[in-house]
Structure 1
Amino acid sequence: MTQPLSERSRGQRLLQLGIAGGDLLLITAATALAAVGRTSLDVFDVANDVNQVAQSVGLWIVAAWMVANLALGTYTSSHLGVGTIEYARVLSAAGLTAGAIGILSYLTKFNLSRGFFVLIFAIGVPLVLLWRWYARRLVHRAHAHGHLVTRVLISGSASHVDDVAAVLERETWLGYRIVGALTPSSQPTPATPRGVPVVGTTAETAESVLAEKADMVVFTEGAFPSAVDFRRIAWDLEGHHVQMAVVPSLSDISSGRMAMRPVGGLPLVHVEQPQSLGASRGLKRAFDFVGATLLLAIATPIVIVFAIATKLQDGGPVLFRQTRVGRDGELFECLKFRSMVVDAEARLSGVTHLNQNADGVLFKAQSDPRITRVGAFMRRFSIDELPQLINVVNGDMSLVGPRPALPAEVRRYVPDVQRRLHVRPGMTGLWQVSGRSDLSWDDTVRLDLYYVDNWSIVQDLSIMAKTIHAVVRSRGAY
């Protein structure tokens, strides 16, 4: 028996229709603008029939583009509002449409204006991508106000339930609301150690879904003893409009390193080797050198202004130089604008009681009295880190990488954490875009190790784009 659509499912359908409607409007507008713009171009031969061509094939181009969006799954609910797959599919749909139009025009010898053809996609693709980005911001805002949320049950052993719950509760913008946990009958407790209420056992998955009106079940280790049991759970949930997600035991491995290849009906997940060597080679170094040089040129006026402000604050030195540990344990002098009083190191023993990271190896205090007024402003927007662009140009640091560590911190590293030193430390990284100082030490290490093992240029570009958003929001900056 099919369960009626939940409020969340209806909201998701409306969201999909709204995004599709926005695409249709913008693609139509791009087609009209391309026809108008083509008549003003002197690049191509003069064509007086552009408007006639636009009227005759324009609607067909719009329809073909929308069909390509549907065919390539750009409106799939699982990708709306999160991840890069949505953007990649939007670009693929535009490319497929352009290719199909070009081939058909050639085969049919249709006199399609080249300027009109180029302008449609030159205007339409950026507009659609910008609209998708804005729609994503609207979705995140709706999540923050309790709309379009996904009610989640987490099934598995209590410790693994808490691991998943910690991630979902931290990333609130994803819109997941945990309504309970399902644990094996051998672990009868009213709640997990983290406080997630246990609403049933793993043997009562379907019943618990109906009782809690859940939209999704996340299966982690301990959720089912065998593949046969999972198959039966899937049968029980059939027709109930409930999403199912499995947290693999292969944690902290990017999707780019995994490939599913069925062998005799057995789904084998092939995993590529870690990418720490790639994160240390010439391509990344060239990317860092060019990027840091350009950013340094752009930021020069800001550097001059805050250098003067720091000097006028108390007459002390403008730069704070501190020994940090670089790639393979090599020491280097990390540069920052001085954001604390001149004798900050001498005063450290007097503020150790303010440390909010007693269980880790870092000293973090949200209200550190040693920070100057100018320094507080610079820290809020990460302006104090601009001199590190010089470190990047010199090859001591990277634009993106693990947080640069102090020698005293490195001496306390356990063997696994030493892997952070396989690449150059970065001005920004996953730790920067995931909460900065709000992160625990364990979370910082986990994100750094994930970056080292799963490095790619695309990921670096994504992190740099997210850094701008994190800095503007000033989340976790102190």
Structure 2
Amino acid sequence: MTPTMMLTIIERWLARRFLHRHRREGKGFGYPTIIIGSPESIHDTIVQLRNSKSLGYIPIAVCPVKASAGNTPNAPRRLLSVPFTADDSDEAELIALPLDSHLPITAKYLKAQTVLIADVLTRDSETMRALSLAMESMGIELAQPASLADLSAAQLHFRSNPLMPVLTAQLTQYSTITRIFKRLSDIFFSLIAIIISSPIMLVVALLIKHEDGGPVFFRQQRIGIYGKPFTMYKFRSMNVNAEAIKKQLAEEYGMEDRFVFKLKNDPRVTRIGHFIRKTSIDEIPQFFNVLKGDMSLVGPRPPLPEEVARYGTLYSARLLVKPGITGPWQVSGRSNLTQEQSEFVDVSYIQNWSLTGDIAILLKTVVAVVRGTGSY
């Protein structure tokens, strides 16, 4: 063993001793933690964490739940939020959170670094899959007692502790360096796109203004990453009163329950609107959204607030990344997709996201735009 290796081992051992001692003495270096599970298991977990301070998990909130059996033998279990009664003054200071689609974003705002699953949630449940995607993509550690954990599509790390061995999961593609590279790519390529498309934007703006004298741009509130609203820009392709008659048309065509309301022969679309929609020119102003940081070049379609209000637990995972000008929806059929197909491609994109995957989607987008696949 070389002297350098020996010194490295000693240095790491001393650093670990220093860290564990400060955690035992309550001097920081811990991870603010949210505990999810049955009230009984939450109590037990809190006691275990007090006895295993070297793990560094510091409870700041709890999410008490119970599993409700379905009406039939094969029906899936439902998870219901239940009250949490504190056993002592320390537990009384913990925040009690409901188990809903807002939990991941609430965890981020509480500055939680770890979400610890005590029990109840099973590895094959939709809720576990949604939590896994949410926490890992936001850089929040997802942890479980080793006896419960069985997570796929993530890199697992074992934290050995005599009283409470824990497995943590991480989606390695959501690293800080990768996020920075994606943002720099968005800035660079959106600037290039704006410069190159400037003559096209000028001509389209003049044609839209000449047709009916209305505004050139259509501004609409959409929901971005972590549920933050932003104003999305597009070239106006519909009549000025299009939004006013949207509800009436939805009722006439029986499409009130659709997330995305689009008609193949929409009477609201103008003459120039048909052309810029077919060629996707109406989307060009969204490069300004990318430049501002509201959107990315590639990501799920930016949803409307009323769409987000109807999201289920798993589908709300699409709010964990920036919406994109193009994405899996754009290259998989666009408006021809059913609601279930749209949900599947969005969630799969988030779970399997990679920079090379984004490049592939950008290349496929060119083909989809040329063919006009699903655009109307």
TM-score by length of 1: 0.42
Aligned to 2:97: none
**1:328 maps to 2:229:** no
Q: How many residues align?
A: 213
**1:297 maps to 2:195:** yes
Change (3 A) 1:275 1:409: farther
Q: Which letter does structure 1 place at the counterpart of 2:202?
A: I
Change (3 A) 1:270 1:290: closer
Change (3 A) 1:459 1:355: farther
Aligned to 1:408: 306
Change (3 A) 1:400 1:344: same
- Alpha-carbon deviation of 1:354? 5.4
**1:367 maps to 2:275:** no
Q: Is the 8 A contact 2:154 2:172 kept in 1?
A: no
- Distance of 1:345 and 1:436 partners within structure 2: 21
Q: Which letter does structure 2 place at the counterpart of 1:316?
A: G
- Distance of 1:376 and 1:278 partners within structure 2: 41
- Distance of 1:361 and 1:443 partners within structure 2: 12
Q: Which has the higher contact order (CA 8 A, sep 6+)?
A: 2
Match for residue 316 of structure 2 among 415, 418, 429: 418
CA offsets 1:20-71 (integer angstroms, 9 cap, x no match): xxxxxxxxxxxxxxxxxxxxxxxxxxxxxxxxxxxxxxxxxxxxxxxxxxxx
Match for residue 358 of structure 2 among 446, 460, 469: 460
Q: Is the 8 A contact 1:401 1:423 kept in 2?
A: yes
Match for residue 277 of structure 1 among 154, 170, 174: 174
Runs of 4+ in 1 over 6 A off after TM superposition: none
- Distance of 1:379 and 1:332 partners within structure 2: 22
- Distance of 1:403 and 1:270 partners within structure 2: 24
Match for residue 429 of structure 1 among 316, 327, 335: 327
RMSD: 2.3
More strand by share: 2
Aligned residue for 2:194, secondary structure, equals: helix
Q: Which letter does structure 2 place at the counterpart of 1:360?
A: R
**1:440 maps to 2:362:** no
Change (3 A) 1:275 1:416: farther
Q: Which letter does structure 2 place at the counterpart of 1:333?
A: T
**1:343 maps to 2:265:** no
How do residues 219-230 of structure 1 correspond to structure 2 at under 5 angstroms? Answer: none
Aligned residue for 1:403, secondary structure, equals: coil
CA offsets 1:371-410 (integer angstroms, 9 cap, x no match): 1010111111111010000000000000000000000100
Q: Is the 8 A contact 2:250 2:256 kept in 1?
A: no
How do residues 82-121 of structure 1 correspond to structure 2 at under 5 angstroms? Answer: none
Change (3 A) 1:334 1:275: farther
- Distance of 1:399 and 1:460 partners within structure 2: 9
Aligned to 2:291: 393
- Distance of 1:336 and 1:302 partners within structure 2: 14
- Distance of 1:422 and 1:285 partners within structure 2: 15
Q: Which letter does structure 1 place at the counterpart of 2:204?
A: F
Structure with higher Rg: it is 1
Q: Is the 8 A contact 1:275 1:455 kept in 2?
A: no
- Distance of 2:175 and 2:276 partners within structure 1: 33
Q: Is the 8 A contact 1:356 1:363 kept in 2?
A: no
**1:477 maps to 2:361:** no
Aligned residue for 1:324, secondary structure, equals: strand
- Distance of 1:274 and 1:451 partners within structure 2: 13
- Distance of 2:172 and 2:292 partners within structure 1: 23
- Distance of 1:446 and 1:394 partners within structure 2: 28
- Distance of 1:298 and 1:311 partners within structure 2: 22
Aligned residue for 1:306, secondary structure, equals: helix
- Distance of 2:296 and 2:289 partners within structure 1: 8
Change (3 A) 1:270 1:476: closer
Segments of structure 2 that go 5 or more residues without pairing to the other structure are: 1-128, 134-151, 156-169
- Distance of 1:353 and 1:389 partners within structure 2: 33
Q: Is the 8 A contact 1:326 1:397 kept in 2?
A: yes
Match for residue 352 of structure 1 among 243, 247, 250: 250
- Distance of 1:346 and 1:379 partners within structure 2: 20
- Alpha-carbon deviation of 1:270? 7.3
Aligned residue for 1:323, secondary structure, equals: strand
Aligned residue for 2:310, secondary structure, equals: coil
- Distance of 1:431 and 1:356 partners within structure 2: 23
Change (3 A) 1:441 1:290: same
- Distance of 1:311 and 1:444 partners within structure 2: 34
Change (3 A) 1:306 1:278: farther
Match for residue 317 of structure 1 among 210, 215, 229: 215
Aligned residue for 1:402, secondary structure, equals: coil
Q: Which letter does structure 2 place at the counterpart of 1:332?
A: F
- Alpha-carbon deviation of 1:353? 3.8
- Alpha-carbon deviation of 1:349? 2.7
- Alpha-carbon deviation of 1:350? 2.6
- Distance of 1:297 and 1:356 partners within structure 2: 42
